[in-house]
Structure 1
Amino acid sequence: MNALHQYMFDAYRSARHDEPPPPVPGALDIATLRAVRDHRRFEAVLTGRPARGRLRGALLRRLHAGRGQAAP
């Protein structure tokens, strides 16, 4: 059974019990990703790391560290 089948069963069950239908599969994906991103930024601030620009900073450090080395 996939998510669509489960959704159809849940929607049918909620209609029979006069309850609100469940959210459509995938409807809350973006909100979940934003919540995860916000939590990671919050954890970064608590540990004393910058909340934004961590990936770019890491890539720039890696780029500048590799300039002094000769190519193989």
Structure 2
Amino acid sequence: MDIVQQQMLDSYRAAQHGEPPPPLPGRHDREVLRDLRRHLLGRPAAAPRRPGG
């Protein structure tokens, strides 16, 4: 099953239960990547390596 078929199935199930449809695939990708970048850059960097050591 590809992402479009899964989205259609999830939307159908939500409609049957009177719930709002799920967000479209990829809609929150930028936000997730931005948060991941902030998380990774917010950590202290490892100690720099010395050349030849």
TM-score, length-scaled by structure 2: 0.78
- RMSD of aligned alpha carbons: 0.9
Structure 2: which 5+ residue stretches go unaligned? Answer: 46-53
Structure 1: which 5+ residue stretches go unaligned? Answer: 50-72
Aligned length: 45
Task: Identify which of structures 1 and 2 has the higher relative contact order when contacts are C-alpha pairs closer than 8 Å and 6+ apart.
Answer: 2
Q: Does 1:40 align with 2:45?
A: no
Runs of 4+ in structure 1 over 2 Å off: none
Larger radius of gyration: 1
Judging by fraction of residues, say which structure has more helix: 1
Q: Distance in 1 between matches of 2:32 and 2:4?
A: 19
TM-score, length-scaled by structure 1: 0.59
